[in-house]
Structure 1
Amino acid sequence: MLEVYHFVNPLSGDSLETEKKLASYVTTATEKIALQVVPVMTMQSVHETAVALGHPEQEQVLSQTMYRFILDVKALQFQGKKVARRFLEAAQTAIFSGQPYTDEFVMGLVADIAADQTLFLEDRNSDLTIQAYRADHNMAAEMGVTQFPTLVVYNTNGANHASRTTDFSDESLRSLITPTANQQLNTYDGYLHNGHVTEIEEG
Structure 2
Amino acid sequence: MLEIHLFVNPLGMRCFRCENDVLRVDQNLNAKISYQFIPMFNMQTIADTIKLYQLSPCDLKVRQEVADTLYQVILDYKAALFQGGRRGRQYLLRLQDSMVKQGWHYSDQLARQVAKQSGLDLEMFLEDRHSTIAKEAFKKDQEIAHSLGVTTTMTAVVYDSKEPQYGYLIPRFDYETLIESYRHHTFNPQQSGKEFAEQYHPHALRIIKSN
Q: TM-score, normalised by structure 1?
A: 0.85
What amino acid is the match of 2:54?
A: G
CA drift at 1:169: 4.0
Which 4+ runs in 1 deviate beyond 4 A?
176-182
Change (3 A) 1:141 1:79: same
1:151 and 1:164 in contact (8 A); partners too: yes
Selected match of 2:168 from 139, 163, 167: 163
In structure 2, the residue corresponding to 1:29 is in which secondary structure?
coil
CA drift at 1:127: 0.7
In structure 2, the residue corresponding to 1:151 is in which secondary structure?
strand
Selected match of 1:186 from 189, 194, 207: 194
CA drift at 1:171: 3.9
Selected match of 2:139 from 134, 141, 165: 134
CA drift at 1:181: 5.6
2:22 and 2:175 in contact (8 A); partners too: no
1:111 and 1:117 in contact (8 A); partners too: yes
In the other structure, the counterpart of 2:44 is 44
In structure 2, the residue corresponding to 1:37 is in which secondary structure?
strand
Give distance in 2, aligned partners of 1:145 and 1:88. Answer: 21
1:112 aligns with 2:114: no
Give distance in 2, aligned partners of 1:158 and 1:19. Answer: 24
Give distance in 2, aligned partners of 1:105 and 1:169. Answer: 29
In the other structure, the counterpart of 1:2 is 2
What amino acid is the match of 1:75?
A: A
CA drift at 1:32: 2.2
In the other structure, the counterpart of 1:80 is 84
Question: Which shows bigger deviation, 151-160 or 120-129?
Answer: 151-160
Selected match of 2:73 from 69, 73, 76: 69
2:21 and 2:174 in contact (8 A); partners too: no
In the other structure, the counterpart of 1:174 is 179
- Per-residue displacement from partner, 1:97-133 (whole Å, max 9, x unpaired)? 2252111111111111111112212211111110000
What amino acid is the match of 2:117?
A: D
Change (3 A) 1:177 1:37: farther
Give distance in 2, aligned partners of 1:133 and 1:147. Answer: 17
Change (3 A) 1:75 1:173: same
Give distance in 1, aligned partners of 2:47 and 2:157. Answer: 24
CA drift at 1:168: 2.8
Backbone CA RMSD of aligned residues: 2.2
